[in-house]
Amino acid sequence: MTSLNVPNAELGEWLDVLKPYQRKTIEAFLPDGSPEQVAERWLSAAGSPNIVPFGGVRDTKPFWDNFKAEFRKFICDDTAYVEEKKALSVEGSTSKALLVSAVSAAIGASIGYTATLLVPAVAILLCAVGKMSIAAYCSSIASVPPTTSIK
């Protein structure tokens, strides 16, 4: 398993690393769903529902699936994101802010999405990982079938 250290902290502590507008939105979403549902909802927000997106279809599910697959790779796959994990391990005791930023930047570069918009979802998922441990998180998702790619 990876030498990545994800602190066990309450969700509020993880949300402290967010910009005020991000935290306010996430906190507004929390009463209506689980933290993972809130992360998905954050990434699914695509502006006004009264505007038809380019192409006419608004399906964010494939994006969420691909984001989550990349997050799993970062956390669970020892052969993925090796340089990023090595840089984090050099830091020693990594702050939550640095961890969230590094994971968001790495995943954002991989899926072609700006890290700033990934930060809230990454913070929420890292909180879950910290609560259950990396080994427990990785074993809990081992039976989940791989996601399909975006067409």
Q: Would you say residue 114 lies in a domain?
A: yes
Domain that holds residue 93: 11-141
Q: Would you say residue 2 lies in a domain?
A: no
Q: Would you say residue 148 lies in a domain?
A: no
Q: Would you say residue 58 lies in a domain?
A: yes
Contacts of 65 (CB under 8 A, 6+ apart): 147, 148
- Quote the DSSP letter at residue 32: G
Q: Would you say residue 40 lies in a domain?
A: yes
pLDDT in tens, 59-93: 556 789 999 999 999 999 999 999 999 988 886 66
Q: Would you say residue 146 lies in a domain?
A: no
pTM (two decimals): 0.82
Q: Would you say residue 117 lies in a domain?
A: yes
Across 53-59, average pLDDT: 51
Sign for the CA dihedral angle at 61, 66, 72, 75 comes to negative
Q: Would you say residue 76 lies in a domain?
A: yes
Looking at the 3D structure of the chain, how many domains does it have? 1
Across 122-129, average pLDDT: 96
Alpha carbons 29 and 32: distance in angstroms, whole number: 6
